[in-house]
Amino acid sequence: MTSISKRKEIDYTEQDLLLGVDIMRELKDVTDLLLHLKEHKNLKFSYILLHSTKDNFMDFIKEQKRDTDLAFHLSERESLYCLVCQETDVEGGYRFAERIMKSFNLDIDNSLDFYASVLFVDTNKYDAKNILFKLIDAFSESRRQDPKWRKGQITYKTI
């Protein structure tokens, strides 16, 4: 008999589930609002999930973001932050994450860990919960990579 913790059918670790709780708690209401605006005003928006061990990272993000972007500190446990950017497609989200990453000088300071996932919402097909699950899946997949590989990586997806 195989113990439940070793079964391969279980795709979500405790870390993934706790991340999901954090994301749903912080981003569900804003996602509902953005979907409403998308339907009535054709608003485009992206999520940029950022993992960073840089000190005072939230202050840094707030200095870099536009007045129309929303910044969230999602998880102290994982040093995880999120920007919700209006009128930003996947390329714009990628470029923003890239600009932040370059400011860290990761090649010089190996103590910093940074990686990001960008999700561009270009459809009304999904509700808020399903959009956030896609965000969780994209980020969890990045996080599961070897730390040496994922450092400085930016993954992106459009739905």
Q: Tens of pLDDT along 62-93? A: 999 999 999 999 988 889 999 999 999 999 99
Alpha carbon distance 16, 136 (integer Å): 8
Alpha carbon distance 135, 90 (integer Å): 13
- Token code pair at residue 42: 């054709």
CATH number at residue 114: 3.30.70.270
Structurally, the chain folds into a number of domains equal to 1
How many residues does the structure list for the chain?
A: 159
Q: Would you say residue 111 lies in a domain?
A: yes
Which residues constitute the domain of residue 119? 12-158
Q: What is the pLDDT of residue 6?
A: 52
Q: Would you say residue 4 lies in a domain?
A: no
Q: Which helix (H) or strand (E) holds 40?
A: helix 14-41
How far the first Cα of the chain sits from its last, in Å, is 40
pTM above threshold 0.95? no
Q: Would you say residue 6 lies in a domain?
A: no
Count of CB atoms within 10 A of residue 134's CB?
16
Alpha carbon distance 35, 6 (integer Å): 38
Q: Would you say residue 132 lies in a domain?
A: yes
For the chain, give the percent of residues with pLDDT over 70: 87
Q: Would you say residue 154 lies in a domain?
A: yes
Q: Would you say residue 7 lies in a domain?
A: no
The single-letter DSSP state of residue 65 is S
pLDDT band for position 4 (cuts 50, 70, 90): very low
Alpha carbon distance 56, 46 (integer Å): 23
Residue with more model confidence, 100 or 71:
71
Q: Would you say residue 3 lies in a domain?
A: no
Q: Would you say residue 1 lies in a domain?
A: no
